[in-house]
Each structure stands twice: as structure tokens, then as C-alpha cells.
Amino acid sequence: MQAGEPTKKKERPLRRDARRNRDSIIAAAAEAFAKEGVNAPLESVAKAAGVAIGTLYGHFPTRRDLVEVIATEKIAAWLEAAQRAADADDPWRGFTDYLEVICKLQADDRALSDIASTDTPLAECIESRLARIRELGRIIMVRAQEEGTLRADVSPDDMAIVIWAHRGIVAATRDAAPEAWRRHLALMLEGFRSERAHPLPVPSLNALHGAAGSAEQRADAQTICKVFGSK
């Protein structure tokens, strides 16, 4: 996505045909972004929507405008899952269910990962929801640790790396075994239980590339870790 100032749109009712075109573009973009990520060719989106590329740009002058419309619904579903997990009566179940929901959303939709990890500023309503998701992610983790079921040395960036690694697993197995990620996640979660805890060989990512790391290493760590609420 290209950075830039939000495009200001005139607020006026769309004609029926224009509304139909806009809805078709959004539907086609949602499908293309889910399969290919948010950098899917817009020419292909326009073709799938049955409109000219000029019509697409007439409704969405920049890729970012289109991504923000698609992102709103996806982030709302993510936020709902995070709140449900934070409110769960069983903190460990809330923690594991939340990771499973994130992984499923990611497996079904490549755009979600792109949206969550982008450094390009998005609409204020989306950014505020992502900030709330990160806050809830920390709450979900801490509740399970305070209960004693999640090992105490797990950090938010450990959780974020699970999500980051999941992207690669999904990409490698999507065609041959689309549900293979569930087995990997279950194995990972077993290792997070406090009763299985043994000393870890190295510190967390942020600890490794904090004050002592290069600017590039710190930037990479922050991009990875911000998905789950690490600072």
C-alpha cells in the first residue's frame, strides 16, 4: 500500500447503477485480497467486478481507500474475538481460543495479516480498533499467566511470532493440506502450558533486539510484535 493523506469523498447518494458497481468492486476486492493479499492487481479486481479500471478508481481513487473499506469488517470481527476471549470465564480457554480464531482468520484471508502488519497509517477508526486489539491481546495473555496455566516467561512478541510463523505454514500447505495449521498450533499451545515449562535458551525478540539491536532489527521486531500487543 502507498502512504498518503486520506482521500476526501463527497457525501452524496449514489445512483443505483453506481451503487451496484461499488458493491461489485468491494466484493471482488475482498475475494482478491483474501487470496493474494492487499497488493492484488486492481486491474484484476475491476475485471472480476465487471467494471472498467477507471470506474474502480472513480469510486476508490487510491488502493488505500479500497483497503480501508475491506479492512473495516475484518478488523471488527477480530476485535469481537479479542473481547470475547478477554471476557472468558476460563482464561486459558480464552487464550487458546483467541489464538485459534486469529490463525483461522489468517488462514482464510491473507489481507488480514497485511492490514495488521502494515506501517501505512489507516483510517482512524481502523487504527483505534487495532490499538484496542493489541491492548486486549495483552490482557488475554496476562489473565492466563495470572491463573497459572500459561508459562510466566511467555511475552507478547512470542505470541506474535506464532502468528508470523503461521503465515508461512498456511502459504506452504494451503493447497495440499489447508487444515495442517491446526496441528501445528495445537503443538505450539502444548508448549505454552506452565506445567510443561523449562528454561528457554534465549530471551524474547524485543529483549534481543531492544536497546542493543540495530535500527533495522528493532524495526523488524516491532513490525512482528505489534500484532499481539508488544511495544
Residues 31-88: tens digit of each pLDDT:
999 989 899 999 999 999 999 999 999 999 999 999 999 988 889 989 999 999 999 9
Cα separation, 47 vs 42, in Å, equals 9
Please write down the long-range contacts of 76-79, taking CB distance under 8 Å and 24 or more positions apart. 76/129, 77/105, 78/102, 78/105, 78/112, 78/116, 78/129, 78/133, 79/129, 79/132, 79/133, 79/136
Q: Look up the domain containing 51 and give its range.
A: 16-61
Q: Is residue 118 assigned to a domain?
A: yes
Q: Is residue 154 assigned to a domain?
A: yes
For 30, half-sphere exposure in the C-beta direction (CA atoms, 13 angstrom radius) is 12
Output the domain CATH number for residue 185: 1.10.357
Q: Is residue 133 assigned to a domain?
A: yes
Output the domain CATH number for residue 25: 1.10.10
Torsion angle of C-alpha atoms 106, 108, 110, 115, degrees rounded to 10: -60
Q: pLDDT value at position 178?
A: 86
Q: Is residue 3 assigned to a domain?
A: no
In sequence order, what DSSP letters do the residues of 77-134 get, joined into one string? Answer: HHHHHHHHHHT-SSHHHHHHHHHHHHHHHHHH-HHHHHHHH--S---HHHHHHHHHHH
Instruction: Name the region of 229 (left: φ>0; alpha: ψ -120 to 50; beta: rest).
Output: left
Do 26 and 99 share a domain, yes or no?
A: no
Q: pLDDT value at position 12?
A: 62
Question: Which residues in the chain show pLDDT less than 50?
Answer: 2-6, 211-224, 231
Q: Is residue 8 assigned to a domain?
A: no
Q: pLDDT value at position 158?
A: 84
Q: Is residue 10 assigned to a domain?
A: no
Last residue of a domain, one of 6, 28, 61: 61
Q: pLDDT value at position 150?
A: 95
Q: pLDDT value at position 208?
A: 52
Beta bridge partners of 193: 150
Cα separation, 154 vs 142, in Å, equals 9
Q: pLDDT value at position 204?
A: 67
Cα separation, 65 vs 8, in Å, equals 10
Cα separation, 91 vs 217, in Å, equals 33
- What pTM, to 2 d.p., does this model score? 0.75
Do 50 and 159 share a domain, yes or no?
A: no
